[in-house]
């Protein structure tokens, strides 16, 4: 759909979204706002009872609600899919952080790098020998594109991304600030007197439509490539070690650590601060709750949780009993003394 940036009138919005208007058609909406905002020119999104109540009590201009919400008291638009419609409005409201066309005069581009004329390269970037920057890619200030890297069509590298060397990014992949891709894997062998480094000569191959969070690290492989599949989304401060392979359309939340040579299937979801032990395999369609520890292969799809990760229901049962350990001890003590007493009697 064509992009319609704010401001809008409430009536115009209802029409654009194909929603049902309940309120003054001429009301001006200047921006999208968070639940609980009192902005009289703001539009908020309220789906759950909690957020509906919050919006109803606020002085917010209007709300976008579900089509069944008939009791909502403030101006609103009823939508069949309010969440998707709000996401659409968000995309129309996105702040512009576009770079100027071409390369900034302070960007240092190696003569043996190929840069598409439609690519944009920001201030103080370094693009090294043997790189390819494809059409429409945006590389913001301070990015370091090391030797033999390729940045696919339409990629966005936010300020201060480091591709160390031999990193390939598929089309439309987005990398956030501070991420380091292609640093050496952590491999040593004790030689009797010291930890001798095992050289890490491989690269990193990232698919299309991937997103990589701020300050996340993805190490290069010892040989071959560390790989991330198409459509996978990785949050901030995630650590992905050498030789790992992550499948397609996975979601990996912040502070998660994936150790060396782990193989992860497609559509795997990891909550925050999960740890996966080295050389473990995880099949497709596995979901891991936050702070789980995977220390053995997961061979069946489903939800998992805990330390070590086990099927969710089973894990929760043990988890809920943990606080009852003191009770367990005292009940056991009681039974023991009963038995002892009878013994004596």
Catalytic residue numbers read 242
Q: How far apart are CA 120 and CA 235, in angstroms?
A: 25
Q: Which residues make beta-bridge pairs with 233?
A: 211, 251
CB 251 within 8 A of CB 209: no
Q: How far apart are CA 197 and CA 88, in angstroms?
A: 50
Contact positions with a second copy (CB under 8 A) in 36-55? 37, 44
CB 45 within 8 A of CB 62: no
Query: Which residue, 71 or 109, has its beta carbon nearer to a second copy?
Result: 109
Min dist. Cβ of residue 215 to a second copy (A): 5
297-326 mask for a second copy (x: CB under 8 A)? ----------x--x---xx-xx--xxxxxx
Contact positions with a second copy (CB under 8 A) in 10-29? none
Contact between 254 and a second copy by CB under 8 A: the answer reads yes
Query: Which residue, 72 or 142, has its beta carbon nearer to a second copy?
Result: 142
Q: How far apart are CA 178 and CA 143, in angstroms?
A: 9
In this structure, are strands 233-234 and 251-252 parallel, antiparallel, or unpaired? parallel
- The count of residues interacting with a second copy (CB under 8 A) is 109
Query: Which residue, 78 or 176, has its beta carbon nearer to a second copy?
Result: 176
Query: Which residue, 118 or 239, has its beta carbon nearer to a second copy?
Result: 239
Query: Which residue, 27 or 294, has its beta carbon nearer to a second copy?
Result: 294
Distance of CA 345 to the CA centre of its chain: 66
Q: Which of 16, 56, 126, 283 binds a second copy (CB under 8 A)?
A: 126
DSSP count for the chain of H helices, then E strands: 5, 40
- How many residues would you count in the chain? 345
Cis link prior to 229 (omega < 30° from 0)? no
Contact positions with a second copy (CB under 8 A) in 213-242? 213-215, 217, 219, 221-225, 231, 233, 235-237, 239, 241
Q: Which of 30, 31, 116, 301 binds a second copy (CB under 8 A)?
A: 31
Min dist. Cβ of residue 70 to a second copy (A): 25
Contact positions with a second copy (CB under 8 A) in 154-193? 158-160, 162, 164-166, 176-178, 180, 183-184, 186, 188-189
Min dist. Cβ of residue 229 to a second copy (A): 12
| Nearest CA-CA partner of 67 in 56, 86, 80 | 80
Contact between 273 and a second copy by CB under 8 A: the answer reads yes
Q: How far apart are CA 325 and CA 339, in angstroms?
A: 21
Query: Which residue, 71 or 111, has its beta carbon nearer to a second copy?
Result: 111
Q: Which of 8, 137, 209, 312 binds a second copy (CB under 8 A)?
A: 209
89-108 mask for a second copy (x: CB under 8 A)? -xx-xxxxx--------x-x
Measure CA of the first residue to CA of the last residue in the chain; give whole Å: 86
Contact between 82 and a second copy by CB under 8 A: the answer reads no
Three-state DSSP at 16 gives helix
Query: Which residue, 4 or 317, has its beta carbon nearer to a second copy?
Result: 317
Min dist. Cβ of residue 322 to a second copy (A): 6
Q: How far apart are CA 192 and CA 201, in angstroms?
A: 24
Contact positions with a second copy (CB under 8 A) in 275-294? 275, 277, 290-291, 293
Q: What is the DSSP code string of 225-242?
A: EEEE-TT-EE-TT-EE-T
Q: How far apart are CA 120 and CA 298, in angstroms?
A: 43
Question: What are the φ and ψ backbone dihedral angles of 320, each rounded to 5 degrees?
Answer: -70, -25
Min dist. Cβ of residue 167 to a second copy (A): 12
């Amino acid at each position: 759909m064509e992009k319609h940036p704010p401001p809008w009138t409430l009536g115009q919005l209802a029409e654009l979204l194909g929603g049902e208007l309940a309120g003054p058609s001429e009301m001006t909406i200047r921006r999208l706002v968070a639940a609980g905002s009192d902005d009289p020119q703001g539009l908020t999104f309220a789906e759950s009872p909690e957020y509906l109540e919050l919006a109803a009590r606020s002085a917010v201009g209007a709300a976008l609600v579900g089509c069944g919400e008939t009791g909502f008291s403030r101006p609103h638009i009823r939508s069949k899919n309010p969440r998707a419609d709000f996401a659409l409005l968000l995309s129309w409201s996105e702040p512009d952080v576009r770079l100027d066309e071409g390369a900034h005069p302070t960007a240092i581009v190696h003569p043996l790098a190929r840069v598409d004329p439609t690519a944009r390269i920001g201030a103080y970037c370094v693009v090294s020998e043997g790189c390819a920057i494809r059409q429409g890619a945006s590389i913001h200030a301070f990015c370091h594109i090391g030797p033999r890297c390729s940045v696919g069509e339409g990629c966005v590298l936010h300020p201060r991304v480091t591709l160390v060397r031999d990193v390939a990014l598929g089309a439309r992949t987005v990398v956030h600030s501070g991420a380091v891709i292609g640093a050496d894997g952590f491999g040593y062998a004790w030689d009797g007197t010291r930890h001798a480094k095992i050289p890490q000569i491989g690269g990193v191959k990232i698919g299309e439509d991937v997103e990589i969070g701020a300050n996340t690290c993805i190490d290069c492989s010892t040989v071959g490539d560390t790989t991330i599949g198409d459509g996978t989304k990785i949050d901030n401060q995630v650590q992905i070690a050498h030789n790992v392979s992550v499948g397609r359309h996975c979601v990996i939340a912040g502070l998660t650590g994936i150790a060396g040579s782990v193989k992860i299937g497609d559509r795997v979801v990891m909550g925050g601060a999960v740890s996966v032990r080295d050389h473990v395999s995880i099949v497709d369609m596995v979901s891991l709750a936050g702070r789980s520890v995977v220390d053995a292969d997961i061979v069946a799809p489903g939800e998992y949780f805990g330390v070590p990760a086990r099927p969710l229901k089973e894990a929760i049962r043990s988890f809920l009993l943990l606080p009852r350990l003191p009770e367990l001890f005292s009940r056991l003590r009681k039974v023991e003394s009963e038995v002892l007493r009878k013994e004596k009697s």
